[in-house]
Amino acid sequence: MAEPIPAEEMHAHDDHHHAEQSFWSKYVFSTDHKMIAMQYMFTGMAMALIGGFMAYAFRMQLAFPGVDVPGYGTVTAADYNALITNHGTIMIFWVAMPVLIAAFGNFLIPLMIGCDDMVFPRVNRLSYQIFLLSAIVLIVSFFVPGGGFGGAWTAYPPLSAKAEYNLTSLGSSFWLVAVALEFIAFLLGGINFVTTVMNARAPGMKMFDIPLVVWMIVVASILFMASVGPLIAGAVMLFMDQNIGTAFFDPDKGGDPILWQHLFWFFGHPEVYVVLLPAMGITAEIMCVFARKKMFAYKTFLYTTFATAVLSFTVWAHHQFIAGIDPRMANIFTVTTLLISIPIAEMCFIYIATLYGGSIRFTTPMLWALAFVAEFMIGGVTGIFLGASGADIYFHDTYFVLAHFHYTFFPIAIIGSFAGFTYWFPKMFGKMMNETLGKIHFWGTVIPFNCIFIPLFFLGGIGQHRRIYNYQHFPELAGPEMQDLRIFATVSLLVMLAFQLVFFYNCFISWRKKEKDAGPNPWKANTLEWTTESPPPHGNWTELPTVYRGPYEYSLPDREEDYFPQNVPS
Amino acid sequence: MIGQYVETLSTYANDIDNLILSIGVLVGFWLILCEVIFFYFIFRFRAKDGQRAKYITGEEATQKRWISYPHLLVLVCDVFIVVFAVKVWYDVKQQLPEPYETVRIVSQQWAWSFVHPGADHELGTADDIKTVDELHIEVGKVYHFKLEARDVLHSFSVPVFRLKQDAVPGRVITGWFEATGTGTYDIQCAEICGIGHGVMAARIVIESAERHAAWVAEQSSITLAAANQP
């Protein structure tokens, strides 16, 4: 085992600790983990706005086919495909990943394990720079001749491989390059996260004293690094199929289009857990703090996480039951897929058990955390229908699938991110957010979210298939009742998008406040990030902390205060 | 559940609906149970003045059983679902009953072409009937289909049959169905296949034996007349 590296050595060549910094070195080329976290956070938010705008454009088309969408114009069939493709790609790879893993990982890991920065600060900076480049490439892909790629975020060949089929020769290559660059950025980030947590923890912090969110980000990073290799290889193969005439996926020349599906989903399914785990960790932190409770069965929670991570590598072909794979394979993947419901169910039980006997304060972050659990359970159980091969024959590629994964990804990427952002905002900026506005924003997001996707479950259940820009071409799907449900979902989306303005307004006025009113520990929490000033200075602590206990010692019976920070000697 | 909104017109449609209903009952039970307890706890344990939270580690056996017993029950439900799902899957996708006729289904950007075997019930003979975007079958007979794709992936989906199968270029995928009622229904392409994916609709016409025989006879005369032209 490597010894923890002393802070002075780590920064032997970075002598800008206390020096005045120029704008460029402070905000753009910074190697400070907190600044890189903010870069990821705000890039992710900007991309979320783009992804949300795309959802607005194609939902308008679905509700009111052929209408001139204000701010977009007419949505043609080609536009529609490009919009849904890039909405999915952006929300997963450029919103969920950067915000949940990179932003929270970068911000929290050094602060929660008690060190002054990541162990590879320059690798960290490089990771963000590659990520930013990937985002730019993706945005550019929309404006090249032929327009953006429209072959769905899964990019199944031959549609994605041949320009004569997808009609977007440049767009599809740009899309692929952007995705591959994004993977490289997160590989670099993942190396950093795992190494930092394993080697740079504060003295006294044992494995089981690490806060759950840090554990979750580490497991997610390992999961990502172990699963993404095949897809990077696949992306290179697809790129060569597109551009230099190889035939890895071309059946006319001996290739196999289904090979791509295996490479994609071998990564794609673990990817769900890559973003799920950090959101679960964030929720766990917040629930413990605001219920003033110790995490119920911390170690069991951790072991179920490991079980989920291992199992997640064995379930990928449930996305391909009817794709033309050998039908006998479906039986095996049905078993593994239903097995993974057990650790996930257990994690939900642990959340519920943690609330038992608590003293729950309904702050904005707590509302988000509770909503995460309540909504995610719906997403979880609806997945059982799709993992059961016999039922998937009917549900595959319908809106039932779409509603199911939005009930997992929305709680993860949006609810989980808002939970973390509102909880750590005081630490990031030293100022409290406005609670009233926070709660208005919470209800204005969560209620419309359910109103969008519950009708879509229903539409999927009665056979509405996916990725169709106008359902009037299908007699069984053109009825006015079904159209009413589509309109209801779209209107709910408009309401939800409008309420996001409250969030940005709240951020703005809170950030503008003159007085830093947060103090080091506004929530009376135990973990180490709350033992330094808000915002933490460069280097995080003047004297690095020592750890004496686990992170969730709330409401200990023999103590006067109901919390016991990790760094306070007993 | 689904049968109320989408007709059940194949021999296995009811099995799939029943499977979905059983899963719905089981997971619905767990979902409602968890949500009710969750919201009850939120209400019951809201902060009150002068009341302190309990200190519970969850590491003792008496505490852990609150999560380990439910988890065993979840496992039991999973076993039931797996057995039921695999049985349905086997019937629909893995076994192939003896066919009455075989039809060829060819998908391409953005149309469906169908080759019916004609009066001699044999594919690949002179009296084959070719149609575009319209598949004619006889009710109560087992059909095999040979599904092909010319260019990209497509998916042959007939909601009233609860049947869906991707078509893959370079492969011929065999499947089966047996209709239990007559009428004309949607065939959808359920796999994104380019800008025309949204218009790649076809119809399946399920006919009684007499009507189907009449249709075959009428089409055969057209086919033969076309073949006899110099």
Q: Is A430 left (phi over 0), alpha (psi -120 to 50) or beta?
A: left
Q: What is the pLDDT of residue A406?
A: 97
Q: Which of B19, B197, B199, B203 to mutate to test the interface with A (most CBs of A within 10 A)?
A: B197
Q: What is the pLDDT of residue A25?
A: 80
CB contact residues (below 8 A), chain B span 44-63, against chain A: 45-48, 51-59, 63
Q: Helices (DSSP H) in A72-211: which residue ranges?
A: 77-89, 104-113, 121-141, 163-166, 169-199
Which residue in chain B is spatially nearest to A256 when comparing CA positions?
Answer: B170
Query: Above 90 in pLDDT, residue B178?
Result: yes
CB contact under 8 A, B52 and A330: no
Which residue in chain A is spatially nearest to B59 when comparing CA positions?
Answer: A297
Q: How many angstroms separate the CA atoms of A150 and A142, rounded?
A: 10
Question: With contacts defined as CB-CB under 8 Å, which chain B residues touch A294?
Answer: 55-58
Model confidence band, residue A403 (pLDDT cutoffs 50, 70, 90)? very high
DSSP-derived pairing of the beta strands B142-149 and B173-178: antiparallel
Closest to A299 (Cβ–Cβ): which among B27, B59, B173?
B59
Task: Give B119→chain A minimum CA distance, Å.
Answer: 30
Classified as helix, coil or strand, B107 is strand
Q: pLDDT tens, A87-139?
A: 999 999 999 999 999 999 999 999 999 999 999 999 999 999 999 999 999 99
Q: How many angstroms separate the CA atoms of B144 and A7, rounded?
A: 71
CB contact residues (below 8 A), chain B span 165-204, against chain A: 165-171, 173, 185-186, 188-199, 201, 203
CATH topology of domain B101-228: Immunoglobulin-like (2.60.40)
Cβ contact A283:A369 at 8 Å: yes
Task: Give A390→chain B minimum CA distance, Å.
Answer: 4
Q: How many angstroms separate the CA atoms of A519 and A399, rounded?
A: 47
Q: How many angstroms separate the CA atoms of A52 and A40, rounded?
A: 18
Closest to B47 (Cβ–Cβ): which among A294, A360, A474?
A360
Residues facing B167 on adjacent strands: B154
Q: What is the pLDDT of residue A44?
A: 97
Question: With contacts defined as CB-CB under 8 Å, which chain A residues touch B70?
Answer: 345, 349
Classified as helix, coil or strand, A360 is strand
Put simply, whether B156 touches A (Cβ < 8 Å) is no
Question: With contacts defined as CB-CB under 8 Å, which chain A residues touch B55?
Answer: 294, 554-557
Q: Is A3 left (phi over 0), alpha (psi -120 to 50) or beta?
A: beta
CB contact under 8 A, B197 and A465: no
Classified as helix, coil or strand, A457 is helix
What would the mean pLDDT of B219-229 be, rounded to a whole number? Answer: 76
Q: What is the pLDDT of residue A10?
A: 47
Q: Concatenated DSSP letters for B138-199? A: ETT-EEEEEEEESSS-EEEEEGGGTEEEEE-TT--EEEEEEB-S-EEEEEEE-S--STTGGG
Classify residue A569: in a domain, yes or no. no
CB contact under 8 A, B153 and A159: yes
Classified as helix, coil or strand, B109 is coil
Classify residue A365: in a domain, yes or no. yes
- The one-letter code for the residue type at B165 is Q
Percent of chain A whose predicted confidence (pLDDT) is above 70: 96
Question: With contacts defined as CB-CB under 8 Å, which chain A residues touch B19?
Answer: 388, 390-391
Closest to A322 (Cβ–Cβ): which among B1, B15, B165?
B165
Q: What is the pLDDT of residue B145?
A: 97
Helix A212-243, helix A257-291: angle, nearest 10: 160
Q: pLDDT tens, B126-146?
A: 889 999 999 999 999 999 999
Put simply, whether B135 touches A (Cβ < 8 Å) is no
Classify residue A515: in a domain, yes or no. yes
Query: Above 90 in pLDDT, residue B169?
Result: yes
Which of A274-278, A291-295, B57-61 has the least mean pLDDT? B57-61
Q: What is the pLDDT of residue B220?
A: 84
For residue A118, how far is the Cα from the chain centroid? Answer: 21
CB contact under 8 A, B58 and A331: no
Model confidence band, residue A20 (pLDDT cutoffs 50, 70, 90)? low
Question: With contacts defined as CB-CB under 8 Å, which chain A residues touch B34?
Answer: 348-349, 352, 377
Which residue in chain A is spatially nearest to B64 when comparing CA positions?
Answer: A297
Question: With contacts defined as CB-CB under 8 Å, which chain B residues touch A355?
Answer: 38, 41-42, 45
Task: Give A328→chain B minimum CA distance, Å.
Answer: 7
Count of positions (residues) in chain A = 570
Q: pLDDT tens, B195-207?
A: 999 999 999 999 9
Tokens 């995705």 -> residue: A179
CB contact under 8 A, B198 and A468: yes
What would the 3-class secondary structure string for A145-168 be? Answer: CCCCCCCCCCCCCCCCCCHHHHCC
CB contact under 8 A, B67 and A152: no
Q: How many angstroms separate the CA atoms of A477 and A469, rounded?
A: 12
Closest to A327 (Cβ–Cβ): which among B1, B93, B159?
B93
Cβ contact A415:A379 at 8 Å: no
Q: pLDDT tens, A132-187?
A: 999 999 999 999 999 999 999 999 999 999 999 999 999 999 999 999 999 999 99
Residues facing B132 on adjacent strands: B113
Put simply, whether B83 touches A (Cβ < 8 Å) is no
Count residue pairs from A and B with Cβ separation < 8 A. Answer: 293
Q: Which of A265, A356, A401, A549 to mutate to test the interface with B (most CBs of B within 10 A)?
A: A356
Q: Is the dihedral of CA B162, B163, B166, B169 positive or negative?
A: negative
CB contact under 8 A, A165 and B51: no
What angle (nearest 5°) sits at the alpha carbon of residue A38, between those of residues A218 and A504?
Answer: 120
Q: How would you class A489 by CB atoms within 10 Å of its CB: exposed for 0-12, middle for 13-18, buried for 19 or more?
A: buried
Q: What is the pLDDT of residue A503?
A: 97
Classified as helix, coil or strand, A517 is coil
State the residue range of the domain holding A115.
Answer: 35-531
Q: What is the pLDDT of residue A19?
A: 57
Query: Above 60 in pLDDT, residue A270?
Result: yes
Residues in contact with A62: Cβ distance below 8 Å, sequence separation at least 6, in sequence order: A469, A470, A471, A486, A489, A490
Closest CA to A398 of A322, A497, A494: A322
CATH of the domain at A372: 1.20.210.10
Q: pLDDT tens, A193-204?
A: 999 999 999 999
- The one-letter code for the residue type at A566 is Q
Which residue in chain A is spatially nearest to B53 when comparing CA positions?
Answer: A358
What would the mean pLDDT of B169-185 be, rounded to a whole number? Answer: 96
- Between B113 and A13, whose confidence is greater? B113
CB contact under 8 A, A296 and B58: yes
Model confidence band, residue B222 (pLDDT cutoffs 50, 70, 90)? confident
Closest CA to A372 of A310, A248, A287: A287
Cβ contact A215:A302 at 8 Å: yes
Query: Radius of gyration of chain B from Cα atoms?
Result: 26
Rounded (to 5) percent helix, strand, coil in chain B: 40, 30, 30
Question: With contacts defined as CB-CB under 8 Å, which chain B residues touch A556?
Answer: 55
Cβ contact B163:B205 at 8 Å: no
Count of positions (residues) in chain B = 230
Q: How many angstroms separate the CA atoms of B80 and B180, rounded?
A: 28
How many structural domains compose chain A?
1
Q: pLDDT tens, B17-40?
A: 999 999 999 999 999 999 999 999
Token pair belonging to A410 = 């929305």
Q: What is the pLDDT of residue A1?
A: 41
Q: How many angstroms separate the CA atoms of B34 and A411, rounded?
A: 17
Helix A33-63, helix A104-113: angle, nearest 10: 150
Average predicted confidence (pLDDT) for chain A: 94
Q: Is the dihedral of CA A121, A125, A131, A134 positive or negative?
A: negative
What would the mean pLDDT of A453-463 be, rounded to a whole number? Answer: 96
Residues in contact with B43: Cβ distance below 8 Å, sequence separation at least 6, in sequence order: none
What would the mean pLDDT of A41-49 be, rounded to a whole number? Answer: 97
Q: What is the pLDDT of residue A160?
A: 95
Q: How many angstroms separate the CA atoms of A504 and A425, rounded?
A: 13
Q: How would you class B126 by CB atoms within 10 Å of its CB: exposed for 0-12, middle for 13-18, buried for 19 or more?
A: exposed
Which residue in chain B is spatially nearest to A149 when comparing CA positions?
Answer: B194
Task: Give B8→chain A minimum CA distance, Å.
Answer: 12
Q: What is the pLDDT of residue B221?
A: 82
Query: Above 90 in pLDDT, residue B228?
Result: no
Q: How many angstroms separate the CA atoms of A425 and A374, rounded?
A: 23
Put simply, whether B97 touches A (Cβ < 8 Å) is no
What angle (nearest 5°) sits at the alpha carbon of residue A512, between those of residues A510 and A514?
Answer: 100
Which of A212-216, A347-351, A558-562 has the least mean pLDDT? A558-562
Residues in contact with A50: Cβ distance below 8 Å, sequence separation at least 6, in sequence order: A90, A139
H-run or E-run covering A333: helix A327-355
Q: How many angstroms separate the CA atoms of A356 and A448, rounded?
A: 29
- The one-letter code for the residue type at B176 is W
Query: Above 90 in pLDDT, residue A286?
Result: yes
CB contact under 8 A, B192 and A467: yes
Closest to B198 (Cβ–Cβ): which among A358, A361, A470?
A470
What angle (nearest 5°) sits at the alpha carbon of residue A537, between those of residues A534 and A540?
Answer: 95
- The one-letter code for the residue type at A22 is S
Within 10 A of A223 (CB to CB), how many other CB atoms are there? Answer: 25
- The one-letter code for the residue type at B113 is S
Closest to B71 (Cβ–Cβ): which among A257, A345, A463?
A345
Q: What is the pLDDT of residue B230?
A: 61
What would the 3-class secondary structure string for A56-79 be? Answer: HHHHHHHHCCCCEECCCEECCHHH
Closest to B52 (Cβ–Cβ): which among A377, A470, A562?
A562
Q: How many angstroms separate the CA atoms of A247 and A349, rounded?
A: 48
H-run or E-run covering B64: helix B61-89
Which residue in chain B is spatially nearest to A331 when comparing CA positions?
Answer: B86
Question: With contacts defined as CB-CB under 8 Å, which chain B residues touch A323?
Answer: 153, 166, 168
Classify residue A540: in a domain, yes or no. no
Query: Above 90 in pLDDT, residue A27?
Result: no
Q: How would you class A239 by CB atoms within 10 Å of its CB: exposed for 0-12, middle for 13-18, buried for 19 or more?
A: middle
Q: Which of B12, B195, B200, B203 to mutate to test the interface with A (most CBs of A within 10 A)?
A: B195
Classify residue A567: in a domain, yes or no. no
Closest to A389 (Cβ–Cβ): which among B59, B74, B86?
B86
Rounded (to 5) percent helix, strand, coil in chain A: 70, 0, 30
Query: Above 70 in pLDDT, residue A13?
Result: no
